[in-house]
Structure 1
Amino acid sequence: MLHDSAHVPKPSLTEVLFNWFLRLVSASCFWFALSYWAMLIGFSHGGAARFDLLSPEWRAAATALAVVYPVAAMGLWLLVSWGPVVWVVAAAIEVAMDKFYPGIFGPRPLLFVLHAAVAVTFVLFRAALLFQRWRQARKVRVDSP
């Protein structure tokens, strides 16, 4: 059986690098998910951060992040459009924990820098892809009337 189109577009280097970037962020989200789950079940921190021993604030935040991070990891790994959106939700929760409630959750400035770097890199990749598609659309095609 023949393909409908004789020309299948090859992904550009920017698209390939963007996909690898999303997969790398997905792996880090999975790592964060595992660390929150390990904390909640008492596997890490010597069992001192088990769910039943946490304060109500930590229970809410850690439980939400233990659920949101694996979903974000799956969405980013599959390269679907909702993956970055779920990652933004997880990052917003952690940034809010760090910036608005440092007395409860403790300051983690490196985490803010990490999330900001990922967000800026994502925006730069999307801008480069948009510019690439705009340039491709402006090219004169041979099938134009």
Structure 2
Amino acid sequence: MKPNQKVFNLLFFIGLLPAILSMVTPDIVYQFPHFRFLKYFLHHSAIPLSVLYFILFEGYRVPRKAVITSYLTLNVIAVPIFYLNRLLDTNFFFLANPSESETLLSFFGSGIMYYISLEVASIIVFVITYIPMGILLKRENGTTN
């Protein structure tokens, strides 16, 4: 498999902090030691660990402009997923509605306010996620990126 910086940029923003946040307020009805509980946390732990692996051992870095390009890419991806959710009665990316269990998304309201809140929250999460990378790049290069 060839290295793909654009894919990594997107993975960095949607796989690091959001996966950790999903473990803080999980959308799961099963309790420990149920298999699905363990599977949920194993999967959601592997995502940020894979991002850290690529940063620490493969030398991947994320430029500042990736905050916007990844945000726009996520929005482009979300459009067909929104319609797929309606077609299949699913809730991928929680675009149909907040989860049924109490999570951070429960505070986002309903209707159009839910989608506006998702957009605002995602850009805030992207910016917060980028801060450590920006500091790393500044230290490595001696300049801002």
After TM superposition, the score normalised by the length of structure 1 is 0.28
Greater radius of gyration (CA): 1
Q: Which structure's relative contact order is higher, taking Cα pairs within 8 Å and 6+ residues apart?
A: 2
Structure with more helix by fraction: 1
After TM superposition, the score normalised by the length of structure 2 is 0.28
